[in-house]
Amino acid sequence: GGIITQTPKFLIGQEGQKLTLKCQQNFNHDTMYWYRQDSGKGLRLIYYSITENDLQKGDLSEGYDASREKKSSFSLTVTSAQKNEMAVFLCASSRLGGDAEQFFGPGTRLTVL
Amino acid sequence: GDQVKQSPSALSLQEGTNSALRCNFSIATTTVQWFLQNPRGSLMNLFYLVPGTKENGRLKSTFNSKESYSTLHIRDAQLEDSGTYFCADDTNAYKVIFGKGTHLHVLP
């Protein structure tokens, strides 16, 4: 087994601010993902990284950057926080393979003032 | 339209009763995941399925790829089963598509 940790758990920022969310996994998984979940809704993919030096855009990448620092860590940056971005950001990881089972972290709740 | 449609959107169950949640896919699907998001927001893996059936305790899930649907059966519902159940189409290389969820409330 393994765990995924996300920091911080709660993030409060000002409109227009650049904000960074971090994710670490100890599954030794190759692939990592960032999702956004708006209140009462499903998850939408922002960015993913198939292997350590890879970065791929998801359906919701505009307004975000991502960085895969090493195999175990994947960061997401909100480039300019907007009030309509109040949401929970979930990190996930999986073994290599497009249909592999994904495991999720506990999430970072973002509030923009 | 939505590629992954879940029904019902919300459900209240008396403790000890049984129910089934459904997930319909509008495109060909080969792999399905079911998750439970608890009231604290944590997503727990329930099932990872290719066509067929899996069972774990009071939960059972079937995936029929020919008819493009999956079901999650809950037997003898308990209070701790409350939360939001998500199904996801895990077919399209790395781009998992989630349904909007079924909000389940188990009543004492």
Average pLDDT, chain A: 92
Task: Assign residue A86 the CATH number of its domain.
Answer: 2.60.40.10
3-state SS class at A33: strand
Q: How many domains does chain A have?
A: 1
B22-33 pLDDT, tens digit per residue, is 999 998 899 999
Q: Is the pLDDT of residue A16 over 80?
A: yes
Q: Say yes or no: B68 contacts chain A, CB-CB below 8 A.
A: no
Residue of B nearest to A91 (CA): B43
Task: Assign residue B49 the CATH number of its domain.
Answer: 2.60.40.10
Q: Which of A12, A10, A57, A51 lies closest to A31, judged by CA? A: A51
3-state SS class at B70: strand
Residue range B58-72: average pLDDT?
Answer: 96
Domain that holds residue A59: 4-112
Domain that holds residue B25: 4-107
Q: How many domains does chain B have?
A: 1
Residue B1 pLDDT: 59
A62-89 pLDDT, tens digit per residue, is 999 999 989 999 999 999 999 877 899 9
Q: Do B94 and A109 touch (CB under 8 A)?
A: no
Average pLDDT, chain B: 93
Residue range B98-103: average pLDDT?
Answer: 94
3-state SS class at A62: coil
Which two tokens mark A73? 């860590």
Residue A100 pLDDT: 84
Q: Do A102 and B96 touch (CB under 8 A)?
A: yes
